[in-house]
Amino acid sequence: MAEYRRLIGLLVARRQQLKLTQVDVNTRMRLGDNLVNRWENFRRFPKGPMLIRWARELGLRLIVSSPCLDYTPATDKVLEYTFKKIAQEAQKRLEGRR
């Protein structure tokens, strides 16, 4: 569950970085009222395909893999840095479309 919470935290941070509201994401994805709010507050849990679609709507791509066998606390720092770089590149691509 910790990994899931971290993933949702990254999606929330990305949404905020893009200056989108939960309603904006709901509208873009054509979802029912407050569904993104329920996901972000762990009251509902999106299934795999919907989670992938949610990330894609925020300009991200999810990659599923097996756990890293050489995990260390530094791994989180590397992942955080990598995510920031990916988010920056996605933002540039989104701005280029406008």
Note the pLDDT of residue 82.
80
CA angle 41, 46, 47 (to 5 degrees): 155
Note the pLDDT of residue 68.
60
Decide if 93 contacts 68 (C-beta within 8 A): no
Domain 2-97 has CATH 1.10.260: yes
Residues 6+ apart with CB under 8 A from 12: 40
Q: Domain ranges in the chain?
A: 2-97
Q: What is the pLDDT of residues 37-47, one digit of tens each?
A: 999 999 999 88
